[in-house]
Homo-oligomer: A and B are copies of this chain.
Amino acid sequence: MKNRILTFLLLIYMMSHSFSFGQSRPRDLGIHIGVIPTGLQNSITDVAGVKVGHTTLIQGANVRTGVTAIIPHPGNLFQSKVQAAVFVGNGFGKLAGTTQIEELGNIESPIILTNTLGVAAGIEGVVESTLSQPRNENVQSVNAVVGETNDGYLNDIRGRHVKAEDVVAAISNAKDGKVLEGNVGAGTGTVCFGFKGGIGTSSRKLPESLGGYTIGVLVQTNFGGVLQIDGVPIGVELGDYSFKDHLVSVDGSCMIVVATDAPVNERNLKRIAQRAMMGLAKTGGIASNGSGDYVIAFSNFLGNLISHNSPSSNSKNPPTSKMMT
């Protein structure tokens, strides 16, 4: 109980003195959120096979944007699709690829995060990357999954500085292990709760007696509300929160990517995705009217990968599940 009071005092102190966290994380400061242990890195890459890549664009005074790519597994994603689902927390956003994920229950490409006006570049980059991959010489249809938040407060978003090659670069430089967080990739220009937002990640690992599965999350934070950290009401204590002066805009968005190695199918992935919005709530996020809050969840469990070359498959026609064969 004493720890909890110290945590409380520590957080209030740091946030009110504009303490810079750099690449340090709450857990480094002794703040342990939740009741289940983390994976090794406390990051989405703790799910074996998942890789993350960033392209960060900082130019002059006004360009602060970028691309973050999440690669579900290291193989050919189009040929070996992952079961997947999307949950729409608040659909004021441009997430590309949703209806096909919903219909077929799978993702067949890297997941791209970028800024709102960079979605076309995101799709073009994914298409480019997929068509040029070996074994994809006859592919004529790619469902690119591209999410976004609006970094127009810090970034010259109308300049559309993200290009297809930046997307291809983020895919190419993706790697496992430690994930860069904060002002990087798609988080370069985002803001959150009136502080600087950005990319964040974490993971949890079930005990072996419950299967030993890992779940990892990566977020692009760009939203508002009434900040709290591990239940401590930072926002209220600092007097800095939504509705304080009545209708302060709290718009913005949050893209959430959830990965797991557990053998869950697309229906249960959708249920898992839905719970991620409950996690957003626990940070003090309120999913305001203008927020584009989406959760993309996938499982890269080997036994559930979906081969593009199933009996019922043709040029456009991927198998829908092993159960169909």
Inter-chain pairs besides A4-B237, A274-B287, 19 sampled, C-beta below 8 Å: A88-B99, A90-B271, A92-B100, A96-B119, A117-B141, A120-B121, A121-B124, A131-B158, A140-B157, A140-B158, A210-B246, A210-B247, A228-B231, A231-B232, A251-B317, A267-B321, A278-B280, A289-B317, A290-B317
**Option from B143, B157, B160 in Cβ contact (under 8 Å) with A94:** B143
In the bound complex, CA of A4 to CA of B12 (Å): 12
16 contacts between A and B (CB under 8 A): A8-B8, A90-B103, A95-B99, A98-B98, A99-B294, A116-B140, A120-B127, A120-B164, A131-B158, A141-B152, A207-B246, A209-B246, A252-B316, A268-B320, A277-B278, A281-B282
B152 touches A315 (CB 8 A): yes
Cβ–Cβ contact B264 & A290, under 8 A? no
Complex Cα gap A288–B130 (Å): 25
Encoded as 1 (CB less than 8 Å from any B CB) or 0, chain A from 219 to 240 comes to 0000000101011110011000
Measured between beta carbons, the chain B residues less than 8 angstroms from A315 are 152, 249, 251
Q: Which residues of A contact B (CB under 8 A)?
A: 1, 4-5, 8, 12, 35-36, 88-100, 102-105, 116-117, 119-124, 127, 131, 139-144, 150, 152, 157-158, 160, 164, 207, 209-210, 226, 228, 230-233, 236-237, 241-244, 246-247, 249, 251-252, 263-268, 271, 274-275, 277-282, 285-287, 289-290, 292, 294, 304, 312, 314-317, 320-321, 323-324
**A131 to B156, alpha carbons, bound, how many Å?**
13
Contact between A120 and B116, CB atoms less than 8 A apart:
no
Least Cβ distance of A5 to chain B in Å? 6
- Report the bound CA distance from A94 to B119 in whole Å: 13
CA distance in complex: A8, B6 (Å): 12
Across the interface, which residues of B come within 8 angstroms of A90, CB to CB?
103, 271, 274
